[in-house]
Amino acid sequence: MKLPFQQVDVFTDRLFGGNPLAVFLDADGLETTAMQQIAREMNLSETTFVQASDDAHSAYRVRIFTPGQELPFAGHPTLGTAFVLHRLGRVQGDSFALHMNVGVIPIKREDGMFWMTPPPAEAIGAAFDRAAITGALGVPTSVCVSPPQVFGGRGLGFLCVMLDTQANVDWTVLDRTALVTAAGPDVGTGDVLVFSYLGGLAYARMFAAVASQIVEDPATGSAVAPLCAALAHYRAIDQSRTTIKVEQGTQMGRQSFLHARFEVLHTAVQNVTVGGSSVPVFESTLEL
């Protein structure tokens, strides 16, 4: 069985930046076990598998795997897969949808960039003690701007920790054992988004869940809606703000830029869309 695939860099406009993604086309008939094995072999943050959709409102079904597990949804795989399908002429027009495990995700192409509508995000549970969380991140409590809290929804959740400067974000060194003690096993082994924010630019790092078998992700589109929700919740953005840009992956040597559009309503955001550019890297075939 020959499986063609394309590799692209997502959330960048230049080769070898952003977050790499492998997109396997014509994946109908592949068993889940085989998809997981292929994703482990590719050893990227995520690998996607494009299948025929049985949903009349979506062009394709797309399944997303990290080296360690299948995900219900992820941002850079959604936009990267959309880019590949459009580039190959497998979707027509500039508006279509892809069916992920989390549901149907609308996609739009505007001026060469692809935009998606992610699941909405809000605060989940109570805030955590700043000293305990910052201790697990290896930074002083004084640099933590607001009480750390989980934001997300529909099975997605990111422990959001807002620090005062980009430098302190870069200084972060995550101690998972200490984080489990501070936040409990579910949050402590889950996705952790550490960021700073100033004047429309967020600077972020994302330490991926232990089960994903990824240490740090260079660009996390699924974290953008939770990030926007956190900024509104912390009153770091006001009613007039409708866009932000997120820089991620810089310390890893894979600088990425993610874009968000939204509406602020009191201390919440709504109608979030996430966009970015992608570039092709290479294409090949895997023979099973």
- What pLDDT, in 10s, does the model give residues 134-188? 999 999 999 999 999 999 998 899 999 999 999 999 999 999 999 999 999 999 9
37, 48, 109, 219, 280 from 80: Cα distances, Å: 21, 9, 12, 12, 9
Helix (H) or strand (E) holding 10: strand 2-10
Residues 130 and 100 in one domain: no
Dist. CA 62–CA 24, nearest whole Å: 10
Residues 102 and 233 in one domain: no
Active-site amino acid positions: 46
Dist. CA 46–CA 23, nearest whole Å: 9
Number of Cβ within 10 Å of residue 219's Cβ equals 33
Structure confidence at residue 105 as a pLDDT band (50, 70, 90):
very high
Residues 87 and 127 in one domain: no
pLDDT at 1 over 90: no
Residues 137 and 221 in one domain: yes
Q: Please, what's the b/e burial string for 157-186 (b: 16 or more CB within 10 A of its CB; e: otherwise)?
A: bbbbbbbbebebbebbeeeeebbbebbeee
Q: Please, what's the b/e burial string for 230-241 (b: 16 or more CB within 10 A of its CB; e: otherwise)?
A: bbbbbebbeeeb
User: What is the per-residue pLDDT across 17-34, written as a single tens digit (0 to 9) for each?
Assistant: 999 999 999 999 999 999
Residues 67 and 108 in one domain: yes
Dist. CA 74–CA 11, nearest whole Å: 13
Residues 91-109 have a mean pLDDT of: 96
Residues 42-59 have a mean pLDDT of: 96
The share of the chain scoring above pLDDT 70, in percent, equals 100
**Residue range(s) defining the domain that contains residue 260:** 122-276
DSSP conformation class of 134 = H
Residues 253-281 have a mean pLDDT of: 97
Judge whether 82 and 112 are in contact, CB under 8 Å: no
Structure confidence at residue 86 as a pLDDT band (50, 70, 90):
very high
Domain total in the chain: 2
Dist. CA 185–CA 175, nearest whole Å: 13
Amino acid at site 92? Q
CATH number of the domain that residue 204 is part of:
3.10.310.10
Residues 252-278 have a mean pLDDT of: 96
pLDDT at 275 over 90: yes
Structure confidence at residue 247 as a pLDDT band (50, 70, 90):
very high
Residues 102 and 86 in one domain: yes
pLDDT of 34: 98
Residues 100-111 have a mean pLDDT of: 96
Residues 140 and 105 in one domain: no
Mean pLDDT of the chain: 97
Residues 91 and 144 in one domain: no
Residues 39 and 135 in one domain: no
C-alpha closest to that of 117 among 4, 263, 238: 263
User: What is the per-residue pLDDT across 68-82, written as a single tens digit (0 to 9) for each?
Assistant: 999 999 999 999 999
Residues 230 and 207 in one domain: yes
Look-up of token digits 């559009």: 261
Residues 79 and 204 in one domain: no
Q: What is the 3-state secondary structure (H, E, C) of 46-66?
A: EEEEEEECCCCCCCEEEEEEC
DSSP sequence for 181-230:
HHH-HHHHTSEEEEEEEETTEEEEEEE--GGGT-SEES--GGGHHHHHHH
pLDDT of 280: 98
Higher-confidence residue of 229 and 238: namely 229
Residues 74 and 137 in one domain: no
